[in-house]
Amino acid sequence: METKQNNIKFRFIDLFAGIGGIRIPFEKLGGKCVFTSEWDKFCQITYQFNFGDCPHGDITKTDEKRIPDHDILLAGFPCQPFSIAGVSKKKSLGREHGFKDRKQGNLFFDIVRILKKKRPKAFLLENVKNLKSHDGGRTYQVIESALQNLDYNLFAKVIDAADYVPQHRERIIIVGFRKDIFPEIEFEFPDAEARKTDIADILEKDVDRKYTLSDKLWKYLRDYAKKHREKGNGFGFGLINPAEDSTTRTLSARYYKDGSEILIKQHRKNPRRLTPRECARLMGFPDNFKIPVSDNQAYKQFGNAVVIPVIEAVAKEMTSAIENYGQNIQKTPKLEYVKNKIGEYRPGTLCPEVSV
């Protein structure tokens, strides 16, 4: 996945980076990643294997003054405090959600402090569609107000990935441009594309039988679905017939538990889960993207990832709007060095105990 870049058009940072799904399209468009942050150690391994960079750790402990100057800030900040499933789970456990979730809910304000200090020309944020309606819309009002108070023009839209990949996955994209540089910028989100792939196109031909559900698990899922149908609930598994169906439900980070939201029908056999590579394809990752972790970790990582073609389509509109405005993004200067727990951060630094 590592790319050689000779003509760098702009610099960006990759926050809450996960496994780098937002980074890929911005690099493809000529950007240079000068800083990245991700606290999960397994995501760090996958990121390292694919980009050669070890992400900085906990962003809450990162001094914003030490982050290199950049043109665009990218962040897919944690969605669990705002997602429908995440909120329901936290409520059932008597836990706080949204901004009251001290561990994850307040991470948005780390983005705010970095924007305030570094003043990039633009930013892109990604989250679940429920962000707009969470807490009666008050959560989004706080986010919108905080970003507008930093003097950025804001644009937001909920986009369904089904226009790009064979998966229904609605996510909100928030794009901002500095008012003092782009006071009247013309930006529009991309129009829906004619999807080029269906479920059958992403499936592997020879799949290990370990992905086929056991009789016990398949019976449990059918009984569970029947029980909820009788109660009038919509809970149940999602069974896909590749010969007839074109799209799946949303792939989630809990897919490793039983695979129930996306099961592939098989001839004279129990259904099977998607393989990690099929999950990668469902999210738009290229086949040369390395998967160095266990299946369970891979399912979590792709379930939490962004759909790359969606981000690429928005990124093209962003960079086009900037270029057409007549503001030339400066070439990348010599990169600054940032100290963290891992040591001296720079592109190419290896994570501890990780060999590529």
Instruction: Give the residue numbers annotated as catalytic, written as ranges.
Output: 79
Specify the 3-state DSSP secondary structure of 51. helix
Annotate 131-196 with DSSP letters as a single string: GTTGGGGHHHHHHHHHHHTTTEEEEEEEEEGGGTSSB--EEEEEEEEETTT-TT----PPPPP---
Alpha helices in 177-269, H assignment, sequence order: 199-202, 215-230, 255-258
Rounded alpha-carbon distances, angstroms, from residue 134 to 21, 79, 83, 130:
25, 11, 8, 6
Q: Which tokens sit at 127?
A: 């989250």
Rounded Cα gap, residues 44 and 14, in angstroms: 13
Q: Cβ distance 20 to 50 under 8 Å?
A: yes
Q: Which tokens sit at 237?
A: 């598994």
- Cα-Cα-Cα-Cα torsion 34, 25, 168, 38, nearest 10 degrees, comes to -20
Rounded Cα gap, residues 47 and 292, in angstroms: 10
Rounded Cα gap, residues 295 and 299, in angstroms: 6
Rounded Cα gap, residues 183 and 163, in angstroms: 31
Q: Which tokens sit at 330?
A: 């400066």
Rounded alpha-carbon distances, angstroms, from residue 107 to 22, 80, 143:
18, 12, 11
Rounded Cα gap, residues 306 and 15, in angstroms: 13
Which residues touch 109 (CB under 8 Å, ≥6 apart)?
146
